Homo-oligomer: A and B are copies of this chain.
Amino acid sequence: MKRLIFDARLKSVPEPTLRRLPMYYRYLKELQKEHWSSVSCTNIGEEFRFEPTQVRKDLEMTGIVGKPRVGYPVAALIAAIKQFLGFNNVNEAFLVGAGSMGSALIGYNKFQEYGLNIVQVFDNDPSKIGKQVHGKTILALDKLPEMARQMRILIGIIAVPAAAAQDVTDLMLSGGICALWNFAPARLQVPDSIIVHNEDLYCSLASLSQKVAQALRSREKVEPSPLPVQATGKEDNLTNARGVYAQTQNKLRLPDLDDRMPGDEVLRN
């Protein structure tokens, strides 16, 4: 039976902080372009509609020290976040799946600024092998393990249909890859030592869907005013107490059982 014992050695970065820091990072880069020399938590908080104290606590994690009445030097703050989030040591990654999602990812040209460099692209479709996507040649999937081992690749990006995701995962792990960024709508079975970061658009859509449904329900109930919701987009993708509060609770109608059987989990290639 597991116990609720707090162990300070295990203290870590709060997930919400980890989601907000990159947002600050980009904003700070904008400020830098506009030649701001320093910035306060109030400034940042206003931009994102967060409490200044929350911003301050987040920044505290990076080890930066500010000055009362002034704030933080923009350049130093950017550097601190960059260091903290690990953008300085860029890791090389292999991507599997040269379909439209894979191609879209390869097209992202600033992953390097966030610590990621996609160095090879793989697919198992013979008609794709040898062709180029955004300047990168597609290689045969079965070459992945050996190459990953030789190049000491740490990160694998999975952009294949759900049905193939587990096989690709196994292949990556056999090549020594130990962190996965998974775009397939599937749960991956991996050992505990492997870092998995799921980017499941169906799951992400679900929360949007719920918010829209809730907004529609409260619109029907309250009045035909077209603006029923109070949450702001800037608060989204976060755990923010006020944002959560802002959502109104609605009672459910009874479940109706006309649930169609799903098709298979396969993304189009």
A interface residue numbers (CB < 8 A to B): 2, 7, 9-16, 18-19, 21-23, 25-27, 29, 32-33, 47-48, 62-64, 75-76, 78-80, 82-89, 91, 99-101, 103-105, 107-111, 113-116, 124, 134, 141-142, 145-146, 148-149, 152-155, 164, 167-168, 170-171, 174-182, 185, 187-188, 190-216, 226-234, 236-239, 242, 244-257, 259, 261-269
Contact = CB atoms under 8 A, between A and B. Distances in A.
Contact of A141 (B193, B205, B267): B267
Given A11-B248, A205-B111, A267 B63 contact: no
Copies of this chain, count:
2
A196 B253 CA distance: 13
B206 A21 contact: yes
B12 A212 contact: no
A22 to B, nearest CB: 4
Contact of A193 (B91, B198, B251, B266): B251
20 contacts: A15-B244, A18-B210, A19-B203, A22-B202, A22-B203, A26-B202, A29-B262, A87-B206, A100-B103, A100-B104, A104-B104, A109-B267, A124-B269, A145-B264, A148-B255, A167-B268, A178-B254, A181-B205, A195-B215, A198-B233
Contacts of A116: 205, 208-209
Contacts of A89: 213, 216
A194 to B, nearest CB: 6
Given A195-B229, A202-B114, A259-B78, A267 B124 contact: yes
Contact of A252 (B83, B145, B198, B250): B83
A229 to B, nearest CB: 5
A263 B185 contact: no
A198 B13 contact: no
A28 to B, nearest CB: 10
